[in-house]
Amino acid sequence: MQAAETARSAHRLTSDLTAYDLYLRGCAMFLSSAKQIPEALRLLERAIQRDPLFAPALAWAAICCIRLLDDDRSEDRTADAMKGADFARRGLEVASDDPGVLANAAFALAFLGEDIGAMMALADCALSLNPNYARGWNISGNLRLFAGQFDIAIEHLEAALRLSPRARVGTSLVAIGYAHFFSRRFDEAVPKLLLAIQEDPSYPGPYRVLAACYAHMGRLDDAREVVERLRALTLVVIPDGSYLRNAEQRELWLSGLRLAAGEAE
């Protein structure tokens, strides 16, 4: 279903077969591994150069920029943030009726600080256009996570997993782990995060929340071990977390990380 939706969107919005090929390769690379995202962005930017109105490529390029920021793989955070916002807005201008463009642009702009209610409305619009869009449910769940609506986030993320149990459409397991963590259901968060790490060992996200989770559970040796694994992926153990709108919940995460990192040093 995801492949059919991708093909439908791409076919409608570009006649350049090379751009389409670059787009498909970039999307597949993005979903395969976090360490492939810089190359995925390069492929998508090449597609956009060939067809500047190729909305799905614009929206996925925006997502790549956001992931470079979130994973601390960006070489120029200001430039990547500006590029991500520009790609997202251009995609919406070209194809505001495309579920994939709506959802991806909403996620990118929400991460960059746009009004979270408006971005959730864009995701809702995407799902009204295609209720079976697994990635749309994934993004809707992530946006609810940003907004502090944790139980709704889990419902939407689990819907994404039901609709696409085999093909990855996003980091659903990580986000479910975050939602349980922020709800202080630490015992329920841990197995989801361990599965997320197994799914993509190169993605820093689950290591960060797992370390904080262990720290708040009093499992400081485990937290220290997770931080050491995280340091092998990134120099940034403690991010700013500004995309999380609730300051108290953000501090729960960052205080756990600080405790885990302090024990590791």
CA neighbours within 13 Å on the CB side: how many for 58?
27
The fourth-level CATH superfamily of domain 1-153 is: Tetratricopeptide repeat domain (1.25.40.10)
Rounded Cα distance, 154 and 117, in Å: 18
Q: What is the pLDDT of residues 139-198, one digit of tens each?
A: 999 999 999 999 999 999 999 999 998 777 888 999 999 999 999 999 999 999 999 999
Cβ-contact 213, 193 below 8 angstroms: yes
Distance from the Cα of residue 73 to its chain's centroid = 14
Q: What is the pLDDT of residues 72-109, one digit of tens each?
A: 889 999 999 999 999 999 999 999 899 999 999 999 99
Q: What is the pLDDT of residues 223-232, one digit of tens each?
A: 999 999 999 9
Which residue blocks in 130-246 are alpha helix, DSSP H?
A: 134-147, 150-163, 172-182, 186-199, 204-216, 220-231
Verdict on whether the full-model pTM lies above 0.85: yes
Whether the domain at 1-153 and the domain at 171-265 fall into the same CATH topology? yes
**Residue length of the chain:** 265
Pick the CATH number of 171-265 from 3.40.50.720, 1.25.40.10, 1.10.1200.10, 1.10.1240.10: 1.25.40.10
Rounded Cα distance, 226 and 232, in Å: 10
